[in-house]
Amino acid sequence: MIKLTSVILLICTSISLFAENGSKLWLRYESTTAVNVVCDRTSPTLAIARSELEKAWDGEAGATVVLTVVKDSAIIGDGFRISKNSIQANTEPGILYGVFELLRCQQTDQVTQEKISNPAYNYRILNHWDNPDGSIERGYAGGSIFWRRGQDSLVVTENDKLRWKEYARANASIGINGAVLNNVNASPSMLTKDYLEKAKAIAEVLRPYGIKIYLSIKFSSPSMLGGLSSSDPLDPEVIQWWQTKVNEIYSIIPDFGGFLVKANSEGQPGPQNYGRTHADGANMLADALKPFGGIVMWRAFVYAPDSDDRAGQAYNEFMPLDGQFRENVIIQVKNGPVDFQPREPFSPLFGAMKKTSVMPELQITMEYLGQEVHLVFLASMWEEFLNSETYQEGSGSTVARCTDGSIFPQKYTAIAGVSNIGLDTNWCGHHFAQANWYAFGRLAWNNKLTSDQLGEEWIKQTFYMPASNNSASSESSTEWTENFLIPIKEMMLQSREAAVNYMMPLGLHHIFAGYDHYGPGPWYAPKGLRADWTPPYYHQADTNGIGFDRTLKGSNAVSQYHEPLRSQFNDVNTCPEIYLLWFHHLPWDYKMKSGRTLWDELCYHYEAGFQKVHEFRKIWDAAKPFLDSDRFAEVQKKLNEQYLNAQLWKDGCLLYFQQFSRRAIPKDIEPPVHNLEGIVSGDHPEI
Ligand code: GCW
């Protein structure tokens, strides 16, 4: 008998251990505890709110929860007032967000405090770089969930709808309320009737979850699609073409959100092709969208091939236009001045454009952070960015406060994240990459959340296994906290710094191999390629030293920062060492705060990053008893790959830079196992 029970127990445990493939994200919870939901209205959104509560209720059995749509001036936008048994909001999506907050508290063992929670940003948007053929630019988790290659690209199946629904549910659970459905390198076909019909089908599934859809547009669509001889934004025919197109879009999708535009950037056409400014282009589109309440998100990611410093260009092009944009234009600015690097100082446009709505663009997909292979929790990077002090309006003018309406009375506040979502079973390619989608949404709602809190919330919801580890006893839950939650959270919180260390420490940036941006490539400089697409442009290493001189005596990009930052960054003695080689070109024997030479310090950083990944592997192995077998094995495999890649980064960069420094690698550092020629010639499949 005893044996039989054990067998049954074993089978049950195994089933639950094997059933995890990551597809449920952080919404794994299922409950049989009854709850009585009271709501005096019905609607598709409220029905979802009700069913989520019923599916996941983990509070007092048989409790009543009252959902009420109210008119309360203390609640802003889609915010909500919450207590243990009631959720009030001015809007239906607000009720839904309140429901998810209540469930999150239950699932993470937090007491539901009575409070009002208002969103930090009104527009909390995912940017999908999905192409109409189903591929995704910088996508590492399979094909597009929206588009498909070939003939049936425009077909909508029941499976598609189911997937979009799961996607919408996950987004709503973290407060995301917008999705740009296609790549910023936009195909004009996206504005054809057929694609608009498909977009409509997507919008219909997303709508009850409070999510609006947006499209990226190609600026030259009037010529490419409409057959006009020009796409000049001041040409009356062009203006008319856009107005007609916008009318058509709204007749198909009445709550369409608006356009995202990449113009005069990396070869994309824009108003400058016709001698016009970004403001001319953005305003023309904004005027067409305005009657319908639509917005234009106009990207500031611009740089010309002939400039002496790419980092200064967005500021140079956009600052003179401050005050010239229509109210419904938001300038979308990447967090750093160059391009989603493992570490950059914040873009100096934040806080500087005072008469224009400015929104941060973060990259959730890890183009420059190890893609689907490396475990890197990006919340630490975003926290550092949002809390960066700009000093634009005195101290306390953090990037967060400069963009969320706390300081400037901008009508539209917004934040975007470049999505890491694809058709993979676990949505994001790496189980831990889900944490970045999660953290982006939560930060878009509340930009004061810490990476520590976000990591903890996510782990609890994603990995806790009440059934399989008999968590009914408080003993096992303490064990889980001490031996799983704490070390795994620590690993996540250290992961971004580790990646910076083994890839490009001390302010180094953009030293990736070739176009794929995965492995090391500080040597990469094919003949004929524009200089600012090659790493030597960024690291400037020679026998005298290393680093990009952006001081007053160099490119002067430092002057784009407000005092006291300008002086702080400009002076090598006060420049934070994390940004040292971003702002300064320094000799190899420059003395660091640690007392070491710059060369030695660089070596120790690479070594520290590499050794950290080794530690992560040990932490993960030790966590095995608390994990289902599939996710354990999948992450273990990726960590091993990350370790190999970190070794390549360390070896490749140290051996390459050593040619210039002509110094020995300190003895207490594990010597490189590869040789430089081998890495450069690419005989390492891991690169
Ligand atoms: O980081 C670079 C990417 C491009 C991308 C571009 C952008 C969509 O390498 O793939 O294009 O940024 O943000 O526009």
CATH no. for residue 83?
Answer: 3.30.379.10
Mean pLDDT of 70-86: 96
How far, in Å, CA of 446 to CA of 457, rounded?
A: 14
Q: For the beta carbon of residue 207, count every other beta carbon within 10 angstroms.
A: 18
Position 7 scores a pLDDT of 37
Instruction: Please indicate whether residue 184, judged by its CB atom, sits closer than 6 Å to ligand 1.
Output: yes
In this prediction, residues 372-388 reach a mean pLDDT of 98
Cα(367) to ligand 1 centroid in Å equals 9
- Strands (DSSP E) contained in 320-446 are 329-334, 357-363, 414-418
State if residue 185 touches ligand 1 by the CB under 6 angstroms criterion: yes
Residue 301 CB–ligand 1 contact under 6 Å? yes
| β-bridge pairing 178-180 and 212-217 | parallel
- pLDDT at site 358: 98
| 367 in active site | yes
Backbone torsions φ then ψ of 340, nearest 5 degrees: 45, 40
Nearest to 318 by CA among 304, 305, 301: 301
Q: What residue type is assigned to position 217 of the chain?
A: I
Q: Is 291 exposed, middle or buried (0-12, 13-18, 19+ CB in 10 A)?
A: exposed
Say if CB 647 and CB 614 are below 8 A apart.
no
Q: 177 lies in which domain range?
A: 123-218+309-464
Q: Is the CB of 339 under 6 A from ligand 1?
A: yes
Integer CA distances (angstroms), 26 to 29, 437, 525, in order: 8, 10, 42
In-domain check, residue 571: no
Let me know: does 286 contact 296? Beta carbons within 8 Å. Answer: yes
In a domain, 419, yes or no: yes
Pair 332, 432 in one domain:
yes
Atom in ligand 1 nearest the alpha carbon of residue 185: 8
Instruction: Please give the distance of CA 531 from its chain centroid, rounded to a whole number.
Output: 27
| Cβ atoms 339, 510 nearer than 8 A | yes
Among the candidates 464, 491, 523, a domain finishes at 464
- Active-site annotation holder among 339, 383, 497, 600: 339
**Residue 11 pLDDT grade (very low, low, confident, very high; cuts 50, 70, 90):** very low
Is 341 in the same domain as 458? yes
Residue 189: CB within 6 Å of ligand 1? Answer: no
Q: Which of 53-62, 144-153, 196-205, 603-612 has the lowest mean pLDDT?
A: 144-153
Distance 282 CA to ligand 1 centre (A): 20
**Distance between CA atoms of 146 and 133, rounded to whole angstroms?**
10
Q: Is 324 exposed, middle or buried (0-12, 13-18, 19+ CB in 10 A)?
A: middle
Beta strands in 191-255 (DSSP E): 212-217
If one compares 475 and 461, the residue with the highest pLDDT of the two is 461
Shared domain check, 504 and 375: no
> Tens digits of per-residue pLDDT, 242-254?
999 999 999 999 9
Please report how many Cα atoms fall inside a 13 Å half-sphere around the Cα of residue 8, on the Cβ side: 5
List, in sequence order, every residue forming a beta bridge with 38; answer none if it has no partner: 66
First to last CA, the chain: 55
Cβ proximity of 666 and 604 under 8 Å: yes
Region class of 62: left (phi > 0), else alpha (psi between -120 and 50), else beta: left
Distance 545 CA to ligand 1 centre (A): 30
* Residue ranges with strand state E in 104-242: 115-117, 123-127, 178-180, 212-217
Pocket test for ligand 1, best of 131, 180, 185 (most atoms within 8 A of CB): 185
Rounded to whole angstroms, the maximal C-alpha distance in the chain is: 86
Q: Is 262 in the pocket of ligand 1 (CB under 6 A)?
A: yes
Q: What is the DSSP string of 123-151?
A: EEEEEP-B-TTS-BTT--SSS-SS--SSG
Residue 158 a catalytic site member: no
pLDDT at 471 over 80: no
Contacts of 551 (CB under 8 A, 6+ apart): 558, 569, 570, 583, 584
What mean pLDDT is predicted for residues 347-375? 98
Q: Which of 568, 576, 571, 563 is nearest to 394 (CA)?
A: 563
pLDDT band at 465 (very low <50, low <70, confident <90, very high): low
In this prediction, residue 684 has a pLDDT band, given cuts at 50, 70 and 90, of low
Average pLDDT across the chain, whole number: 94
Which class for 531: exposed (0-12), middle (13-18), buried (19 or more C-beta within 10 A)?
Answer: middle
Measured in residues, the chain has a length of 687
How far, rounded to the nearest angstrom, does the alpha carbon of residue 121 sit from its chain's CA centroid? 15
> Is residue 137 in contact with ligand 1, taking CB distance under 6 Å?
yes
101 and 142 share a domain? no
Instruction: Confirm whether 510 is domain-assigned.
Output: yes
Q: Are residues 380 and 442 in the same domain?
A: yes
Ligand 1 midpoint to CA 313 (Å): 16
Separation of 537 CA from ligand 1 center, angstroms? 18
Ligand 1 center–CA 507 separation, angstroms: 21
Both 529 and 667 in a single domain? yes
If one residue of 131, 136, 137, 334 were mutated to test the ligand 1 pocket, choosing by the most ligand atoms within 8 A of its CB, it would be 137
**Ligand 1 centroid distance, CA of 329 (Å):** 21
Q: Probe ligand 1: pick from 180, 339, 517, 533, max atoms within 8 Å of CB?
A: 339
Q: Ligand 1 centre from 365 Cα, in Å?
A: 11
Task: Read off the CATH number of the domain in which 607 is found.
Answer: 3.90.1330.10
Q: For the chain, what is the domain count?
A: 3
* pLDDT at res. 307: 82
Domain contains 204? yes
Please write the tens of the pLDDT for every residue from 389-399: 999 999 999 99
Q: What is the pLDDT of residues 513-534, one digit of tens each?
A: 988 999 999 999 999 998 999 9
Asked whether residue 111 falls in the same domain as residue 130, the answer is no
Average pLDDT value for residue range 361-365:
98
Query: Does any domain span residue 10?
Result: no
Best residue for ligand 1 mutational test, from 185, 265, 266 (most atoms within 8 Å of Cβ): 266
Per-residue pLDDT at 354? 97
Contacts of residue 407, Cβ cutoff 8 Å, sequence gap at least 6: 351, 392, 393, 397, 401
Catalytic-role residue among 133, 194, 248, 266: 266
Query: Is residue 15 included in any domain, yes or no?
Result: no
Task: Give pLDDT tens digits for 411-422.
Answer: 899 999 999 999
Determine which residue's CA is closest to atom 12 belonging to ligand 1.
Answer: 339
Same domain (yes/no): 152, 108: no
| Ligand 1 atom with least separation from CA of 184 | 8
Would the CB of 340 count as within 6 Å of ligand 1?
Answer: yes
The conformation of residue 671, written as its DSSP 8-state character, comes to P
Which pLDDT band, with edges at 50, 70 and 90, does 549 fall under? very high
Distance set, CA 531 to CA 178, 666, 681 (Å):
36, 33, 21
In this structure, the answer to whether residues 100 and 162 fall within a common structural domain is no
Q: What is the pLDDT of residue 5?
A: 38
Distance 102 CA to ligand 1 centre (A): 38
The burial class, CB within 10 Å (0-12 / 13-18 / 19+), for 243 is middle
285 lies in a domain? no
129 lines ligand 1 (CB under 6 A): yes
> For residue 435, how many C-alpha atoms fall within 13 Å in the half-sphere facing its CB?
32
What distance in Å separates the CA atoms of residue 432 and residue 414, rounded to the nearest whole number?
26
Active site residue 54: no
Is the distance from CB of 209 to CB of 171 less than 8 angstroms? yes
Which of 367, 384, 497, 532 does the annotation list as catalytic?
367
Name residue 389's beta-bridge partners: 398
468 has pLDDT over 50: no
- CATH number of the domain within which 158 lies: 3.20.20.80
Q: How far apart are CA 178 and CA 258, in angstroms?
A: 10
CB 661 within 8 A of CB 653: no
Q: Give the residue from 118, 134, 158 where a domain finishes.
A: 118
| Residues 57 and 204 reside in one and the same domain | no
CA distances from 266 to 262, 304, 305, 360, 506 (A): 9, 8, 9, 20, 28
Atom of ligand 1 nearest to the CA of 517: 9
Residue nearest to atom 2 of ligand 1 (CA): 339
Instruction: Based on the fold, state whether residues 199 and 62 are members of the same structural domain.
Output: no
Last residue of a domain, one of 61, 85, 118: 118
For the chain, count helices (H), then strands (E).
Answer: 21, 15
Assign 352 to helix, strand or coil: coil
Identify the pLDDT of residue 418: 99
pLDDT at 476 exceeding the cut of 90: no
More confident residue, 8 or 95: 95
* Best mutation site among 367, 369, 512 for ligand 1 pocket (most ligand atoms within 8 Å of CB): 367
Distance from the alpha carbon of residue 44 to the mean position of ligand 1, in angstroms: 37
Quick one: which H or E segment has residue 652?
Answer: helix 629-661
Based on the domain organization, do 332 and 402 belong to the same domain? yes
Residue 43 predicted with pLDDT over 70 = yes
| Residue with CA nearest ligand 1 atom 3 | 138
